Each structure stands twice: as C-alpha cells, then as structure tokens.
Amino acid sequence: MLFFFKLNRERSKQVYWQKEYETMPRERLADLQLERLQQTIKRVYDNVPFYRNKLSEAGIEPGDIKSLDDLSRLPFTTKQDLRDNYPFGLFAVPMEEVVRLHASSGTTGKPTVVGYTRNDIVTWSDLMARALVMAGGSKKDIVQNAYGYGLFTGGMGIHYGAERLGATVVPISGGNTSRQLMLMQDFGTTILTCTPSYALYLGEEMVNTGIDPAKLKLRIGIFGAEPWSERMRNQLEAKLNLTALDIYGLSEVIGPGVAMECPEKKGMHIFEDNFIAEIIDPETGQPLPYGQPGELVITSLTKEALPIIRYRTRDITVLKDDECGCGRTFVRMERVTGRTDDMLIIRGVNVFPSQIESVLLEFGDTEPHYLLVVDRKGTLDDLEIWVELSDKFFSDKVRALEDLEKRLRARILSVLGISARIKLVEPRTIPRSEGKAKRVLDKREI
C-alpha cells in the first residue's frame, strides 16, 4: 500500500511533454493506432505506386484493415525497397510539399533518401521535445548538440526538438573537441547530446586537460545512434558527472526520437502514438510475443512525406510491456544488441562492407578480397582496411603502393564519410572462406 502511495506521489511529480498521449490507457492507444494505421494505408495506397502494387499483390485493399491484428498481413518494407525507388519514389506527397531531405548510408554507392513535409517536421520536433522532457530537460537547459549536422538526422532532429522545448541550443555539431570543452564550461552546458563513444572521448579529454567534471553544469547526456552498454553507461556517468540515457531512431522511420529512455533506465519507450513496433523472427518473418528477442519492425502512423509500412530495421532487441515507474504507458525496447545484416557503426557512421567492396571494384589495381578490422583505440573507433593487391599491380615500388593507398583512403572518405587506414597486402593472403566470406573483424568491446 505504502509502495503504491509512494509510486503515485513520484508519478505526480513527473513532467510530460504530451501527457495525454504519453500516459494514454492501452485500449485507447490501440484505437488511436488503428485509426492512424487505416489513414496511413489509405495514404500510401492512393499515392505511392510501390505500396499500391505490393498491397494488391498481397490481396489487400485499404478497407480490409479492420483491426491491429491485420497489420501482420501487410508486406514488409526494406532498405532495398528504398534503394530501388531512389531517390524520391516512395514519397507520398508532391515534391513542393517536401521541405527537408535527409539521407543515410545505402548498402552500396547510393544513400537512402528520406523526406519531410512541414507537418512532419512539427511531429518530429514534438517527439524530440518529448524525449528531452522525458530525460528531465526543460526550457531552462542549455543543450550542446554534438550530433553531426547535415544529411544525418541526428543534428537537425535534436536541434528542432530542443528549440521546440524552448531550451537554448548550441549547434556545435560533432568534432572539434577542445572547442566543445571550452563552450561546455563557458556556456554552462546542462545537456550533452552526441554518440556515446564521442561522449566517452570528451570525458577522457576532460581528464587530459585537467577539467573537473564536478565543476561543470552538465546533468543529462542523451546518447544514441550506435550500440552501447551498461558498462559504458557507468563509465559515462562517472567521467562526465551526469545521467546517461539512451535514445533510438533511424532515418527511414523519422530520425532520432522513435524511442527514448526515461530515468528509470529500464529500456526506451517507443512513441507508440506515432509508430507501431513489432518484433519478428528474422528468418521466418513471423511476429514474436513481447519478451522474446528478434528483429524490430516499425510502421509509421503520422508521417506524410514518407510513410513507412512494416520497415525491417535489422536491429535486434526485445519489447517489454510491464508497467514503468514513470507512468508512461508506451512499451519499451531494450538496448539494441545486434543486427541481422552486416552493417557496422563506426564513429557514428553507418558502414556496410558492400560499400567498401564497390570502391575496391572501381580500382582495377585491387582484388575485391578485403577485411575490415575494427577496433577501439582509447575511446575512438579505428578502422583498418586490408586490401589485396591484384597480381598485375603487385610491385615492390614503394611510391606506387603509397600512391594507391592514398587514393583508396581518399575515395573511401568521400564515399563513406569515414577515414580509414589502408593496409595493402599481397595477392592471395586474405583467408578465403568456403561459406560466407568473413569481411569484418570487430574487436571492439562496448
């Protein structure tokens, strides 16, 4: 009895950005989801030939969606579908209604492009404001946003949410560590937003430059865009003297602000009034019950420019629907523990080995036999690419080798947006596999 009294008292102190949605009873939430799903299906059926064809092939018309159980009858959407319809083929509105584009890595040369209407930007800003409030933020905060600005959704997504909340945003973007530390002290930054690995690096640099985190005003860190662990949370909280919380999202669905961890630290609440989350068996595609690990699949419910139906995120996680102490009724997803494909996240950048393969194929002097060796040097990810030289190029002329190395490094930087060390190796020295080629040696411990 006393316990419930205490819990209720705690909850009444909770601040929400959109309480009516965040604490909505599950039955009402289900009604809202169904209504929005029906609208979304109608929108894509009427406006996106790709979806109309896929739905017709599955024998489904918009009027057939009568309950949320009908969701599992709908076909999946994959990154390949976005690629096949590059760049704007899955947009459900004319281009004059699209006010913003972002993009993320495709599996090969071309990126995956996403678009937003003015309303989509409002929705996204609200979701991000909601995430900041969930973390304990308010308009009094100074948010140092060290996620990259640009085509990546991290920078602008967090930025608009922080402004919507009325907080003060410092749009510093990633990198330039000494300036980050200077402004953090001078401006009295209270919320730091960046990838967890960069946050750890900032923490190390504080030690190296004699900055005492106890003297800073930092109190909350909102870290995501790559996998991290409880061990890293402990390190980050100790080094930076703040509460470290996880945030999840992906460009194809909206960007950051699909799910956010509350201070209970028991997983990230999925913003279910805007997205339906399912877990499926990645092999069979069959939906799995709450509590079982599998691939996260997301359907958007409110997006206009790029509604997305049953998007296969390739992220492995578990959904939990037990009650949360914060009073929110949205289900939670646990940390992402892996992927069903070979995508790597290196210094916050999504990298597919196939992108590197296509660069190597452009260069006639190398073989498409390669190995990506990923490690963490100190707190930063390090990528070394072992590349096999072709017989024809193999030479002992140091200058020619150095030149090739330089050209490869530059090309990889321009295609993938990431710097890597290149190690050229003799023909036939990278181990061949009889089954699936092993392209990646990931030695990072997170």
Read off the tokens for 165.
């909340």
> In this complex, which beta carbon is closest to ligand DLL, that of residue 242 or of residue 360?
242
Which residues are registered as beta bridge partners of 345? 350
Among 124, 198, 201, 248, binds ligand DLL (CB under 6 A): 248
> In this complex, which beta carbon is closest to ligand DLL, that of residue 108 or of residue 185?
108
Which region among 2-10, 70-78, 221-229, 366-374 touches ligand DLL (by CB under 6 A)?
Answer: 221-229
Among 22, 120, 141, 246, binds ligand DLL (CB under 6 A): 246
Report how many residues bind ligand DLL under the rule CB under 6 A. Answer: 23
Separation of alpha carbons 409 and 400, rounded Å: 14
Q: Of residues 32-61, which lie at the interface with ligand DLL (CB under 6 A)?
A: none
Which region among 162-170, 240-248, 271-279, 436-444 touches ligand DLL (by CB under 6 A)?
Answer: 240-248
Backbone angles phi, psi at 139, to 5 degrees: -65, -10
> Is 115 a residue that touches ligand DLL (CB under 6 A)?
no
> In this complex, which beta carbon is closest to ligand DLL, that of residue 136 or of residue 368?
136
> Is 81 a residue that touches ligand DLL (CB under 6 A)?
no
Separation of alpha carbons 379 and 347, rounded Å: 10
CB of 252 to ligand DLL, least distance (A): 7
> Is 125 a residue that touches ligand DLL (CB under 6 A)?
no
74 three-state secondary structure: coil
Q: Tell me the chain's radius of gyration from C-alpha atoms.
A: 23
> Is 154 a residue that touches ligand DLL (CB under 6 A)?
yes
> Is 225 a residue that touches ligand DLL (CB under 6 A)?
yes
To the nearest 10°, report the CA torsion of 409, 412, 418, 422: -40
CB of 289 to ligand DLL, least distance (A): 22
Q: Exposure string (b/e) for 336-353, b if CB count within 10 Å is 16 or more? A: beebbbebbbbbbbbbbb
> In this complex, which beta carbon is closest to ligand DLL, that of residue 288 or of residue 343?
343
Among 137, 256, 307, 417, binds ligand DLL (CB under 6 A): 256
Q: Of residues 388-417, which lie at the interface with ligand DLL (CB under 6 A)?
A: none
> Is 249 a residue that touches ligand DLL (CB under 6 A)?
yes
> In this complex, which beta carbon is closest to ligand DLL, that of residue 45 or of residue 152?
152
98 three-state secondary structure: strand
Q: Are strands 338-339 and 344-346 parallel, antiparallel or unpaired?
A: unpaired
Q: Of residues 304-363, which lie at the interface with ligand DLL (CB under 6 A)?
A: 313, 315, 336, 339, 345, 350
> In this complex, which beta carbon is closest to ligand DLL, that of residue 71 or of residue 194?
194
User: Of 271, 288, 294, nearest to 36 (Cα)?
Assistant: 271
CB 16 within 8 A of CB 23: yes
- Sequence-separated contacts (24+) of 403-411 with Cβ below 8 Å: 404/363, 404/365, 404/366, 407/363, 408/359, 408/360, 408/363, 408/366, 411/359, 411/362, 411/363
CB 268 within 8 A of CB 260: yes
Residue with nearest beta carbon to ligand DLL: 224
Write out the residues near ligand DLL by the rule CB under 6 A.
104, 147, 152-154, 224-227, 246-251, 255-256, 313, 315, 336, 339, 345, 350
